Chains A and B, each alone.
Chain A
Amino acid sequence: MKHDLQKPPASSFERIEIDSSHAERISKPSLSFWQDAWLRIRKNKAAIVSMFILAFIIIMAFVGPMISPHDSETQTITHANLPPKVPGIEKLGIMNGVGTLAGKEVDLYEMKKVDTYYWFGTDGLGRDMFSRVWEGTQISLFIAFVAALIDMVIGVAYGGISGYYGGRVDDIMQRIVEILYGIPTLVIVILMLSFMDPGITAIIIAITITGWIGMSRIVRGQVLKFKNQEFVLASRTLGATDSRIITKHILPNILGIIIINTMFTIPTAIFFEAFLSFIGLGLQPPDASLGTLINDGYKLIKFQPHILLYPSIIISLLMIAFNLLGDGLRDALDPKMKD
């Protein structure tokens, strides 16, 4: 066969130099998972505001007791049960030291001849509530963080293993969980009293002893849901190891739920701690936490609302901030939300 092809003119081609450096260039900057998350969370105003509120509260928890003119433990019995009074603001008609006594509105500072200012008022033993509230915040935050962290670590590991391996492993692990669920926590907690001294360690142990179960159940449920999904199957077919599947494929997908649940652990821990204090396993006085302050304060709600008010405001702020931040984090960390 004769090939009689007309040779195209050389001019119709243009020679291009291959620039290897060019090939490597990516129009978008390369971002790590966390950088990417940060970029996205920055756009979320609520999350950013929350971050500032949290930072403020945490700083105040440490600075607050220092800037207050009164110590949190000094009991000045003659100054008991004073309402808040703040210089400057008092002229506005609020926080001016006026409280109800026997049904009448009186300036209690004048009546008791107190010439100093208690910004958040005082409690029944004449202690400065401002210092107590911030020191309480410190303790509450510490307990909540540690408890939430431990819950998360144990819960995710346990739930993950149980859900991922399934079968007999799952069966046994879940039965253990059911048994732990079944035994009343209070019995265990009181039992701990007989061989542990009350205090922060005891509280954290008591909170975490069954606290992680909820997390593990949720993680297990999520893992069950994801482990048979197409992208996991695909990855497995390609020979990915279990640990790779768990860390790279399943974990990022369930991170949202884990964060949300951890956010819930924090208030639960704070209130469980208050409950423990109530039955005697909790903090030993004069230490106080937000939970115990609220516990003490709610009975005085009608006559001395300030004792309940400030710890409640702080706890609510903390919770709202944690949750909005959690929402933001969740959105930011979701692999499917990548731009």
Chain B
Amino acid sequence: MKNSKLVWLLSLLLVVALFLAACGGDDKETKDDTTTDTDDKDATTEETEVAADEEQVLNLIMTAEIPTMDSALVTDAVGFDLLNNVNEGLYRLNQENIAVPAISDGEPKVSEDGLVYTFTLRDSNWSDGTPVTANDFEYSWKRAMNPDTASEYGPYMMAGVIKNATAISNGEMEYTELGVKALDEKTLEVSLEKPIPYFLSLMSFGTFLPQSEAFVTTQGENYAKNSESLLYNGPFTLAKWDGTGLSWQLLKNEEYWDKDTVKLTEINYDVIKETATAVNLYTNGEKDRAGLSGEYAMQYAADPELVNELETSVFYFKYNQERNGEKTPLANVNIREAISKAFNKEDLASVVLANGSTAAYSFIPSDFVFDEDGKDFRDVNGDMAVFNVDEAKAAWEKGLSELGVTELSIEILGGDTELSKKMDEYFKSQLEGNLPGLSITLKEVPFNVRLDLDTNQDYDIQVAGWGPDYQDPFTFLSLWETDGGNNQMSFSNPEYDQLLQDINGSLALDIEARWEAMAKAEKLIVDEEFAVGPIYQRGLMFLQKPYVKGIIAHPFGGDYSYKWAYIEGK
């Protein structure tokens, strides 16, 4: 056989191939050098940035694409976040997260019954130089209610708030009848269905942003298709966005009325879904901020660049009382109490989640709403549903004897992310350990399957979460109204329903009484009826370069504002 020679030949070939591949790399590297040479602009700007210590460029990471930039259609966090930075409504959340007049020139005039608001607009321009008028608001809001637009958040945010919105969304009235009217170029009159104490904070929400009628109609089908087919009236303008892409840019808006406040000239975004990659890019200096998921948060626990931020989303056990037409064991209040109290929330937050989340002892998150004296709503009721094995066991025994059984098998429905799996395993071990006779089965499914099971009320306990849509406890409390759209757990309590009625009805103008009623309602569902069992308030950990300053995180609406952000000491 002459094979030996052949083998050598082949292995030589292999080596050559590998070598060529390596050379190919070198080759490209040198080429790359030349491109940076020709691309002098880029290279030099970067140098001056380091040298002059002033280049106001921020490099950020997003974890998802922008689904849409049409304020009538947006439903997701990324969209709301960007809209908040490229557009501006009547109000805007300031650095202290208080809604302050923005396009509205000072506070509006409010009628005595609290039903009619008259806003005067300040002089401000769209990014193409045309003025922002009252009609832009009227047009945009009505557009969001127009069935042809098929907006989801339009009816959701406006029904029950803006006059006639409920009737319009039920198809009983034309969308043109919406209670918003441009009295003249600069005066906007908004009529409400009933007095809404938190109405002004709503005005900072993405759905209530203005849209230029002339521009939208000219663009037609193409409106908001990419960064070119949009107009901006906020601190920044969007650029280099092709509608579905993974990268885009925010540039300082020279037409913005308050442009002197804006220091950043450029924000570069890339969508990166893998935490490891984000961290690597951060370490490399290509990105200025990187969010950390649980595992990473733990590893960077002592890093000086680690920032912990508490969000306003609360996660809780949703106890289903009726499944497939039959009562579940969870219809028994003692069983619900036992489960709410039978797991160690502190351990869960600090060891299992370890991502900056905190244990939740209420349904309304902390750092979300404050009364006039700056007192957190969270403190009104104190800690409820606290981990207490003895109380849990007592309630459990009582519940079991009421049901006439000694053993129960209950299913926990959870998400399919690694974090939620880990958490579910912890629940199983804690609950089974602390409640004798309980056996837990876990069911972990993708999000769309879970939604389906939720809609069909086909689960026992669900680990669910909720984030606020406006700055008022009502955004949480309204979930459990009898037969409400989100109440897929057959919870019904006349007292609670009455409280909800009063909160946005008879008590709407009496701030103190309303505050108390809301606290009472919260206590009712968390500590008396145990309708839901709070688990944790979500926290976020990320690495942020020390030279990045002034990014403001918001409790609802858009996640961040970069209006006040700047780079210092890079």
Contacts and interface: CB of A to CB of B under 8 A. Distances in A.
A77 B294 CA distance: 15
Interface residues of B, number: 35
B196 interface: no
A125 B353 CA distance: 10
B51 to A, nearest CB: 30
A299 B417 CA distance: 13
B443 A285 contact: no
A314 to B, nearest CB: 21
Interface in B242-282: 275-276
Contact of B422 (A125, A194, A280, A300): A125
B223 interface: no
B348 to A, nearest CB: 9
A279 interface: yes
Interface stretch (B69-77, B121-129, B297-305, B498-506): B297-305
B445 A285 contact: no
Contacts of B442: 284-285
A194 B276 contact: no
B302 A280 contact: no
B18 interface: no
Contacts of A337: none
Given A77-B347, A285-B425, A194 B452 contact: yes
B421 interface: yes
A300 to B, nearest CB: 5
Interface in B411-467: 415-416, 418, 421-422, 424-426, 428-429, 441-446, 448-449, 452
Interface in A271-289: 278-281, 284-286
Contacts of B301: 102
Interface residues of A, number: 29
Contacts of B298: 81, 124, 303
B10 interface: no
A299 B441 contact: no
Given A75-B426, A190-B449, A278-B416, A198 B296 contact: no
A302 B299 contact: yes
A299 B418 CA distance: 11
Contact of B351 (A80, A190, A285): A80
Nearest to A189: B446
Nearest to B276: A299
Interface string A125-136: 100000000000
A102 B351 contact: no
Contacts of A281: 445
Interface string A81-117: 1000000000000000000011100000000000000
Contacts of B293: 299
B352 interface: yes
Of the listed residues A73, A101, A124, A296, the one surrounded by the most CB atoms of chain B closer than 10 A to its CB is A124
B460 to A, nearest CB: 14
A193 interface: yes
A73 B352 CA distance: 15
B350 to A, nearest CB: 9
22 contacts: A74-B429, A75-B429, A80-B351, A81-B298, A102-B303, A103-B303, A125-B352, A125-B425, A125-B429, A190-B449, A197-B443, A279-B446, A280-B446, A281-B445, A284-B441, A285-B425, A285-B442, A286-B429, A299-B293, A302-B299, A303-B298, A303-B299
